[in-house]
Amino acid sequence: MKLRKTERYASKETKFFKKHPDLVDKYGDVLEKLSFDIFEPSLKSHQLKGNLSEYHAVSLTYEYRIVLILKIVDDEIVLFNIGTHDDVY
C-alpha cells in the first residue's frame, strides 16, 4: 500500500524526531512493515473507538503510537498523527 503523510503529520513527525532521534531506525522499520501489511502482528494495529473510530493505530514503541487513516479503496494509508499514547488519543 502507498503511504501518504498529511502536512500536519509531516510537521509533527519533524518535531517528534528532533526529540527522539533514537527512534528513527525503528520508525523506518514500522513504515516498511506498514506498507506491506497493516496487520503485521509486531505493529499491534487496531481500530480506535469513540470519536476516533474512523482511524487505526499502530505501535512505534510501547509508549509511542502512529495514528492513521486507512483508505483501502484507494490502496492508500494516510498517516495522521504521531506521539505518545496520551497525545494521539
Residue 21: is its pLDDT beyond 70?
Answer: yes
Q: Model confidence over 36-84: pLDDT tens digits?
A: 998 899 999 988 899 888 888 899 998 898 888 776 657 788 888 898 8
Which domains does the chain possess? 2-88 (3.30.2310.20)
Neighbours of 3 (CB within 10 A): 13
Residue 13 CA to residue 70 CA, distance in Å, equals 19
Give phi and psi for 17, each to the nearest 5: -80, -15
- Mean pLDDT of the region 16-45: 93
